[in-house]
Structure formats: structure tokens, C-alpha cells
Chains A and B, each alone.
Chain A
């Protein structure tokens, strides 16, 4: 059993509104799983079902091969998108309370909290009230509270919102460190560059249905169009462009270089290989740039949603 979490044909309706329609996902142990989708697609509903906040109408969710039960809550750490803390409570007390709700005993929670506070250099916040902290500071506390009980499964919904780039980077590294320590991460966000950076696997939910699911690189392979960015210095640019157009589909490209080269996007057909193109180009001039165009997560997202 290499999947930590499996949602099997999960459906959920709210009255007449279908929030999730027969959605299945499998999250491999030790992976970072990106749960993507436009606003209102049903991501939050799925996450809430995993957290047993709402119950599915149909289907079931397995954690470590077992159907979800109340005690599994201790194995999950959840950072919701709509998050906050008791404003008038002191940081330390509050963190202890939330940790105890997750089943940690007080002494252990205190020890771990001090470790975390030290590492994130926020030790002197212990006796401050949340309302005295900035939003980013409160988010840091929230992050610590989410991961404190060392859950097997971490669910982050927009974890970087409210952070400046420096703190976002600190949190990103903490997430990666937690993964190295054996945690599995489900990650829901609209920031595609962080998906690109972190996720091994993504699933895309759109209008209550799963429309895309798989290893990020595999999906990229699937979505790539065999297109290459080419930069070439030649005496007769228009002649070269004309002759290329006869063989391949060519469009102008934009990328930054030092010299004033001819910049083109060249799309190859299934049969042709990159080497063939490169060989041809070297006979025509000085090749300074040759790069396969790989679709970004953002491109894939937009394309997949549009196609549906």
C-alpha cells in the first residue's frame, strides 16, 4: 500500500447544488500532491470531507487503507484557507490549546512549540496576544499549530497567502523538510509557480468533476506540443524563415538574448526529432538558442479548464 490517502468516487450535494461529482484521487506516501481548480470548483469540499468536517453523500475515503474514522484526525494537519486564531488569546496558550485538541499532551506540546518557535525565531511572541501581531506573524503561528502534532498527512489550502516572499520561502522550506521527515502533503493553491516548484502530482477539479490527474511531469509530457524555441544568427533571415515554414509550423518567439538573432517557435510533427531540426539549422547559421517548450502548470490549468 503506497497510497496514504485514497478518495474513492466521492460525491457531495448541498441541496440541488452538486459540489463534488464522483471524484477519486490517490495520494502517494511521501509525495506533494497539488489539488488545483478554479474558485468554487469543489476543492474545499473535498478537503473538508478528508478532514471529516463534512460527510460525503457517496463514496469513501481511505487513510492508510482504512476508511476514515474519528481517530484519524490526529494523523491529519489542516491549514484551511479561511483561517484565523482567537484574537484575544495569548500566542502560547492558544497554540497549546489547539495542540491539545489534536491529542498532544500538554508537556509534549510545550516542548515542541518551543523548538518550533526557536527555529522560526518567534520565541518572544509567546505571551503576546494575536491581535498585537501582524497578519503574516499570525500565519506563522497558524502554520506551526498545523504541523505540531507531526501528522502523516498535511493539507495546506493556500499556505503562502499573507506571507512576504522571505517568509513564504521559509514556509516552503519547512514544507519540504516535513516531507523529507516522511509527511505527505496535499497542497491547494492558485499560485502556479509554487505548484511547479513543489508538486510531484496534481489533480485538477473543475465544476465538481476531476478533469485531470497524474504525475506533473507526465502531464507536461502529455501537454507538450513538440515545439522548440530557436535562436539563430544568419545572413538571410527571411530566406531561412521561409524555408523553415515549408517544413514545419513556425511562429515568432519572444525571449531575451544578447544578440539580435532570428527568434522562432518551431513545432515539429510526431515523426520528426529535435536532432533533425538542429542538424538542419546548423547548416544555415550560428545556433545560439535551442530549447524545448515545456507547458507550465499555469498553461496546463488554463487549457484544461478551457477544454471542458
Chain B
């Protein structure tokens, strides 16, 4: 008698029909989009408001670079002391005061060329934003550099002419072309895959656990396992809940993208314009002003990834990794009587997961094939997340297969172990077991 399909069906239907589940499914994207729109709207509001920056340039030679822009308006003060300027700025409630001292001429010992330098200070009532400060720094630096070069007899036109823009074309030995943009695409792709798995495990692992606890507290468990084997019930639960999870994720994805389009049409918000300080720094570091031309590069980079490998690996690692963790969640659910008792057992599950995301987030970005990243992509509890993040950068097939085999071996073991804990635990009431007792249950 194979009752697995029946159990899966029941688990799926009760999950999907559950009111809380339905509300979650349809409200979450709405809330997410609403929040996102709010953030986008607010940051736009912030951007469109012109900032007043007052400049006091005692050298008198740098102020010329401060020309008004859409976002910043400069006011140049003349013939006031710093103390007075501070008072004026505070009264005017402008964003801040940029103070540049008179030139200090350092006489270089070697070539006897005068080198200009200044003290620069910024006074404001609140801590200024990172992008404003670095913008101001660049302006002053450029101007001084220009003047220093002019002192040596190099004029501005020569400098302009001498500027070169280099983009390193990367290619591996098999002839596959890569680029900086490609790396970004890979990072995004790998990161998204790893993070998706992480979220999936946390959300639906918990759901499995709760549904096991529910069977215990409602005392139906003994009725059920007098009809089906505990392992069948456990697997049915895991699979049914997972299918419900996939349904929910799918709806989120569709609803999310529809709402995103609708929201951007209604509120006229361009989501690609949502700039966080990190993004600003990143684009600055990459110095890619022309975004339009880049889209083609990104698309190329996307198709340059080992797509077939990526998709197959994603499915395999996602499924095995998820099964590994969900069996542990089921075992925890069986071991305890109520949700509050789960805390002590949750930590050992959450720790490797978070570790995996951190390792993935830091070391994989830094060095996708470094020792740390490689080792963690073999350890079964971190491998699904880390390997998924590494694969877009091209991981040798033997490594993927080996890692997958280790993972599958481990999840077979954890499912066996979990089913042992499960079959004893579901009939135990009243006391919170210790780890020692759990070990004993496995031996029964």
C-alpha cells in the first residue's frame, strides 16, 4: 500500500487552503511592492531636493569648479572669516559649509617644483552623505592636480589628450570571453540562487516543523501511523509542504512582477533608479557612466554563463539541500511538544545556513575558487548554498558531482536519522528531550 500520494495531496490541500497561507501569498507581494515603492519614492524625493552647499575658498582658485547642478547648488562666500561663515550657513539652514584654506606651498626637495596643498573642512549640522563628501573631494583633488601640473608646464588640453580608458578583455583558455560586467551578472545570479535556497529552507522548513507539531498536539498521530509508516508520513509532509511552497513562490514571482510594472506605471517610479549608497560606490568604482551600452554587455554576460550546467545544478542542489534541511526540521518537530521548545534544536540548523550565506557573500565574491569557498562548497550543510553561488563562475564538473554525491549521501543519512527520531518522537509526550535522548531514540 503506497499512501504517499494521498498524504502529499492532503498536506498540499490543507496548506494551500489555510487562510493564513492565502493571506501571506497575496499580501506579501503587495506589502513588498508597497514598501519598495515607498523607498523608491522617498529616495527620489531626497534626490530632487536641491542641496545648498556654501563654499568659502580662501585660496580663491578652487571655487571656480563648483558649478551648480540639478542636485546641488553652491553659494560662494567672499571676504568673510570662517567663524562668520559658519554663523551665516547655520542661519541660512543650508546643507553645509565647505571651507578651503589658502595654499600651502611645499617645496619639493628633488625637482624644486612648488606643490600646492590646502586644508579642506566640511561643517554641517548633520553628518553629510558619503556621496556628497566623496564628490567634493574629487572636485578639489582634480583642481589641485590640474594646477600642480600646469605649474610644471603641462596644460589642460595635454592632460585631456593623455587620458586613456582601458577595459580589460578577459578570456579563459577555452576561449570563453568574460568581463567585469560578466562577473557582476554571475554574482547576482549565484547570490540570488543561494539566497533563494536559504529563504526557502527557513520558511518551508519551519512550516514542516509546525505541521508535525500540530499532528502531535492534536493527538491524531497515533491514528495515522496505525495506517501508514512514519517515514511515509514524514516524506509526504515534506513533499506536500514543498509543493505548497513552490506554489506560493510562483504566485509571488508572478504577482510581484505584475505589481512592479503596475506600480511603476501608476507612480511613475523607475525602480532601476533606486540608489543605495553601496550602489553609488559600486558604480563609481566601476566608472561606467553609460548604462545603456552596458545592457547589451550584461545580456551577453548572461548568455556566456554555463546556463545548462547552471539550471541542472540549481535544481539538483536546491532539491537535495532542501531535503537535507527539511528532514531535520521534521525531526525537530517530532521531538518536541510545542513550538517554544524548538529553540534549542534550531540553532544547530540555522548556524550552518547562515555560515553558508556569509561564506557565499564574502569569500565567493572575493575569490570564487579560493580554498575557503571550495572547501565550503563540499561540506554538505553549506554546500548547496555555496556551490550554487560558485557555479556561475565555472566549477569543474567533477567538483560539482563530488559535492552533490556528498550532499546526497548526507541527506540519505539525515532522512534515515530523522525518521528514527520521528517514529519515536511522535509518540512521546510531555517532556522536552535532550540531545542525549535523541541519540538514544536513533538507536531504538
Contacts and interface: CB of A to CB of B under 8 A. Distances in A.
Interface of A: 14-15, 48, 51-53, 70-71, 73-74, 76, 78, 80, 82-89, 97-98, 100-103, 142, 145
Contacts of B440: 15
B226 interface: yes
Contact of A78 (B14, B214, B226, B444): B226
B10 A78 contact: no
Contacts of A82: 219, 222, 429
Interface in B336-391: none
Given A70-B229, A101-B3, A102-B227, 14 more contacts: A51-B226, A74-B1, A80-B222, A80-B223, A83-B219, A84-B223, A88-B14, A88-B18, A89-B14, A97-B6, A100-B3, A100-B6, A101-B7, A103-B1
Interface of B: 1, 3, 6-7, 10, 14, 18, 214-215, 218-220, 222-229, 427, 429, 440, 444
B226 A84 contact: no
Contacts, number: 64
Task: Give me the 4 closest cross-chain CB pairs, A-B, nearest first.
Answer: A84-B219, A101-B227, A80-B222, A84-B218
A71 B1 contact: yes
27 contacts: A15-B444, A48-B427, A51-B226, A53-B225, A53-B226, A70-B1, A71-B1, A74-B1, A76-B226, A78-B223, A80-B222, A82-B219, A83-B219, A83-B220, A84-B218, A84-B219, A84-B220, A85-B220, A85-B223, A86-B218, A87-B218, A89-B14, A97-B6, A101-B6, A101-B7, A102-B227, A103-B1
A53 B220 contact: no
A80 B226 contact: yes
A253 to B, nearest CB: 45
B124 to A, nearest CB: 58
A40 B222 CA distance: 17
Contact of A86 (B6, B14, B222, B227): B14
A71 B7 CA distance: 18
Given A84-B218, A88-B14, A98 B226 contact: no
B216 to A, nearest CB: 9
Nearest to A51: B226
A241 to B, nearest CB: 55
Contacts of A100: 3, 6
B339 to A, nearest CB: 16
